[in-house]
Amino acid sequence: MYSYIYDEFVQSPKFKKELDTIESRLTDLGMSGKVVRLALFRDPSDIIAGEVSRGLSTVVAVGNDETARRVLDVVAEYPGTTFGYIPLGTPTHLARLLGIPDGVEACDVLSGRIVETIDMGVVNGKRFLAGIASAKFDARITVSGFRMRATSPGSLQVRNLAVGFVPSPELVADPRDGKLEAVLEVEERRGWNPFRKRRSGRSVLPFTHMEIDGDAPVTIVADGEEMTSDHFDISVEPKMLKVITGRGRMF
């Protein structure tokens, strides 16, 4: 049994023709289901909970990555339920990572039903699927009792999959390994000459639990949502989400 969660923006006339084509293709594939239309202040939590209680097996987000984030956070609470995604609009970086094409072609991926059970990250009690980014990072990191700090400000990514657009699978973490991956990059100046070109120093650290502490508030972006605090607690929830992927997935 399928339920399709339409974000508010896809209900505009701009997407009517494409939605009609998608609905027709789903009917042809025998995958018609209940359509739920979100409004700006409508929380999908209660909607999905009600559908699951009536035997729902698959929840499909129809919209962009923000739509997917809102829906998958709820789906993860129900272990027997699978998350699907039909990308419309922008951004759709998550769809690319999962190997899902935009629009009507995503219907065939749903029909193929290649299901992977993947990890999710948690930062200060909020789940994320793709990753975390901090562009101007200058704080302490604690992993397994070891505390460290970069020699100069830089950027931090915490990847369960990847952050934003990535050009190749080599830059994507494996969301099935029970770990997250921290990537810290700082600029390093070599030698005494102040005009010498800086080089980028890069450290990659797999972990299951990390703490970030700043002398001042630190801003991060987790799956597109901005968060600011002087302390972040980051961990992994292994095998948390069942998700339909395409053959072209990047992990």
Q: Tens digits of per-residue pLDDT, 16-70?
A: 999 999 999 999 999 999 999 988 666 788 888 888 878 889 999 999 999 999 9
- Burial (CB count <10 Å: 0-12, 13-18, 19+), residue 91: middle
Of 171, 141, 138, 132, the C-alpha closest to 154 is 138
Cα(16)–Cα(12) distance, integer angstroms:
7
Cα(31)–Cα(24) distance, integer angstroms:
10
> Which sign does the torsion angle of CA 202, 179, 73, 111 carry?
positive
Amino acid at 14: K
Task: Kindly tell me if the per-residue pLDDT of 205 is higher than 90.
Answer: yes
Domains of the chain (ranges, CATH numbers): 2-112 (3.40.50.10330), 122-238 (2.60.200.40)
pTM of the model: 0.89
- The confidence band for 5, taking pLDDT boundaries of 50, 70 and 90, is very high
Q: Any idea what the Cα angle at residue 227 is, between residues 222 and 232, rounded to 5°?
A: 85
Q: Which residues contact 182 (CB under 8 A, 6 or more apart)?
A: 141, 143, 156, 157, 158, 159, 203, 204, 205, 206, 207, 210
pLDDT at 189: 58
Task: Kindly tell me if the per-residue pLDDT of 195 is higher than 70.
Answer: no
